A and B are shown apart, each in its own frame.
Chain A
Amino acid sequence: MNIFRLLGDLSHLLAIIILLLKIWKTRSCAGISGKSQILFAIVYTTRYLDLLTTYISAYNTFMKIIFIATSYTTVFLMYVKFKATYDHNHDTFRIEFLILPTSLLALLINHEFTIIEILWTFSIYLESVAILPQLFLVSKTGEAESITSHYLFALGCYRGLYLLNWVYRYYAENYYELIAIVAGLVQTILYCDFFYLYITKVLKGKKLQLPA
C-alpha cells in the first residue's frame, strides 16, 4: 500500500458517499445516471468475486464489501425508493453498447482463460467506460448540480491517483498490471474534459454549464 493508492481508494469512497448523501438528503436522484450506477454495480460484482477465493487483507476485504454494498444501495435508491425523481428521459445511453464490446474484449485480451479471470478483466474494461452514461446525461441536459460535479471530480481523482500508484509501483516494486494500466489511462482521459470545466467553473462558484 502506498499513499497514492490509499488516497485513491479514499477519494473513491468519498465519491460514493457524496452521491449517496446527495440522493438521501435531497430525496432525489435528478441529474444522476442510473445506467452508470448499474454498470458500477456490475463492475464491483464481477471484480470482487475473488472475495470468495482469495484473502488479501482486512482492508481489502472491507473496502470490497463496502463498494459492492454501496453500489447496490445506490441502484436501489434510484430505481426503487426515489424512482419518481429519476431522470429517465435524459438517461438514454444504451449500456449494451458498452457491455457487449467490453465482454468481447475481455474474452480476447486476458491473462488466463478462466471464468474468474475473464470476469475480472471484463470488470476492468467496463469500469473504464462506465461513467460514459453519466457524462452523456450531463451533456444532454447541458448542466450538472454542483454536488454532482463534486461526485464526478472525486471519482476522477480516484482514477488519477491510481495512475500515480502504478507509476510508483513500477519503480518501487517492479510491479505492473498492463490490463489495469491501459484501462485506467482510458478512464482517466474520459474525465479530462470534465476536469477542465470543474476547475474553471465549479471551483469559482459557478454551476457546471456546458457551452451551448
Chain B
Amino acid sequence: HPHYPFKDEL
C-alpha cells in the first residue's frame, strides 16, 4: 500500500 516514502501531506 502507499506507505512511506510517499509523503504527500503538508
Contact = CB atoms under 8 A, between A and B. Distances in A.
Contacts of B2: 173-175
**Chain A contact patch, size range:** 20 to 34
A175 to B, nearest CB: 5
A176 B8 CA distance: 12
Interface in A123-177: 162, 165, 173-177
Q: Is the interface of A mostly helix, strand, loop or mixed?
A: helix
Interface string B1-10: 1111101111
Contacts of B9: 5, 162, 165, 177, 180
Interface string A184-206: 00000000000000000000000
Contact of B10 (A9, A175, A176): A9
Contacts of B7: 50, 54, 56, 120, 177
Given A9-B10, A60-B10, A63-B10, A173 B5 contact: no
A67 interface: yes
A117 B5 CA distance: 9
A64 interface: yes
B1 to A, nearest CB: 4
Contacts of B1: 173-175
A111 B1 CA distance: 16
A12 B10 CA distance: 10
A124 B8 CA distance: 14
Nearest to B8: A56
A1 to B, nearest CB: 8
A60 B8 contact: yes
A165 B10 CA distance: 12
A67 B10 contact: yes
14 contacts: A5-B9, A12-B10, A54-B7, A56-B8, A57-B8, A60-B10, A64-B10, A162-B9, A165-B9, A175-B1, A175-B2, A175-B3, A176-B3, A177-B9
Q: Which 4 A-B pairs have the closest CB atoms?
A: A174-B1, A56-B8, A111-B4, A175-B2
Given A111-B4, A177-B9, 5 more contacts: A50-B7, A60-B10, A162-B9, A175-B3, A180-B9
